[in-house]
């Protein structure tokens, strides 16, 4: 059985180490916060906050306290606030250890596409280009194939890039792959998924 969304998030949480400052993208990456366990992880929200807490209880929403997805959130005892230039200064400056992000396509050289589909409504890249260019390690979490069954793990991206050669590790419903010299290396397969099945669903070169 391939991993479901929560299993993928749980696997991604294993990437995080005690003491890390981390930025989580929207979608499955947001679920990663549910699986960090006892590890001391500080979440960054790029609109200007370190130490992002859970959603507020009903009636305690504060319009001055939102995350990068514009959702109401809460602060923690460790929380600090800062402006957007400082926030992206710490991102661009490599102070954020890792970003866990969703993707539309990833290529074997680490190219990432996750912000625009030509001909469709373009909403913008937000902070994604800054994050992938700046943080220490980029982990992509996504389904291995699209809804037509085509591989999203490609030799070359077909969509406009978010970053060139920026991805370190790919976690999909079928397994875990690392970007290495010459292509992708299988790190592990999801429970019940064979290496042959993973290879068959992957267009990229596996070394």
Partner 1 sequence: MKKVYGSASEALDGLLFDGMLIAAGGFGLCGIPELLIDGIVESGVKDLTVASNNAGVDGFGLGKLLDTRQIRKMMSSYVGENAEFMRQYLSGELELEFNPQGTLAERMRAGGCGIPGFYTKTGVGTVIAEGKEVKSFRGEDYILEEGIFADLSIVKAWKADETGNLVFRKTARNFNPPAAMCGKVCVAEVEEIVPLGSLDPDKIHLPGIYVHRLIQGEHEKRIEQRTVRKREEA
- Please tell me whether residue 160 binds partner 1 under the rule CB under 8 A: yes
Of residues 7 and 71, the one with the C-beta less far from partner 1:
71
Residue 64 binds partner 1, judged by CB under 8 A: yes
Q: Which of 46, 75, 156, 196 is catalytic?
A: 46
Q: Can you tell me the distance from the alpha carbon of 21 to that of 32, in angstroms, rounded to the nearest whole number?
A: 14
Contacts of residue 70, Cβ cutoff 8 Å, sequence gap at least 6? none
* DSSP line for 140-170: EE--SB-TTS-BSEESS--SPPSBSS---EE
Tokens of 177: 């792959």
Q: How far apart are CA 30 and CA 41, in angstroms?
A: 14
Minimum CB separation of residue 195 from partner 1 in Å reads 31
DSSP 194-205: -HHHHHHT--S-
Residue from 27, 92, 183, 206 touching partner 1 (CB under 8 A): that is 92
**Tokens representing residue 166 in the block:** 């920026």
Binding mask 71-90 for partner 1 (x = CB under 8 A): xxx-x-----xxxxx-xxx-
The number of residues that bind partner 1 (CB under 8 A) is: 54
Which of residues 22, 130, 139, 202 is near partner 1 by CB under 8 A? Answer: 130
Active site residue 61: no
Task: Report, in Å, the least distance between residue 130 CB and partner 1.
Answer: 3
* Cβ proximity of 102 and 147 under 8 Å: no
Enter the tokens of residue 84.
Answer: 């957007």
Q: With contacts defined by CB under 8 A, name the span among 124-132, 148-156, 178-186, 194-202 that binds partner 1.
A: 124-132
Does the footprint of partner 1 cover residue 48 (CB under 8 A)? yes
Q: Which of 31, 32, 68, 69 is nearest to 50 (CA)?
A: 68
Q: How far is the CB of 43 from partner 1 (least distance, A)?
A: 13
* Footprint on this chain of partner 1 (rule: CB under 8 A): 45-49, 54-67, 69-73, 75, 81-85, 87-89, 91-92, 111, 121-130, 133-134, 160-165
Give the residue numbers annotated as catalytic, written as ranges: 46
């Amino acid at each position: 059985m391939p991993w479901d969304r929560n299993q993928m998030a749980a696997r991604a949480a294993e990437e995080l180490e005690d003491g890390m400052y981390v930025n989580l993208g929207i979608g499955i990456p947001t679920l990663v916060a549910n699986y960090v366990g006892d590890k001391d992880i500080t979440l960054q929200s790029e609109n200007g906050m370190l130490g992002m807490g859970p959603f507020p209880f009903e009636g305690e929403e504060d319009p001055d306290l939102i995350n990068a997805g514009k959702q109401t959130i809460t602060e923690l005892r460790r929380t600090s606030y800062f402006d957007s230039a400082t926030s992206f200064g710490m991102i661009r400056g490599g102070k954020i250890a890792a970003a866990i992000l969703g993707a539309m396509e990833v290529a074997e050289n680490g190219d990432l596409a996750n912000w625009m589909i030509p001909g469709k409504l373009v909403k913008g890249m937000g902070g994604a280009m800054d994050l992938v260019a700046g943080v220490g390690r980029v982990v992509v979490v996504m389904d291995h194939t699209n809804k037509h069954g085509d591989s999203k793990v490609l030799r070359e991206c077909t969509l406009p890039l978010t970053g060139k050669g920026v991805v370190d590790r790919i976690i999909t419903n079928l397994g875990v792959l690392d970007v290495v010299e010459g292509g992708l290396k299988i790190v592990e397969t999801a429970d019940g998924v064979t290496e042959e099945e993973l290879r068959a669903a992957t267009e990229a070169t596996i070394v």
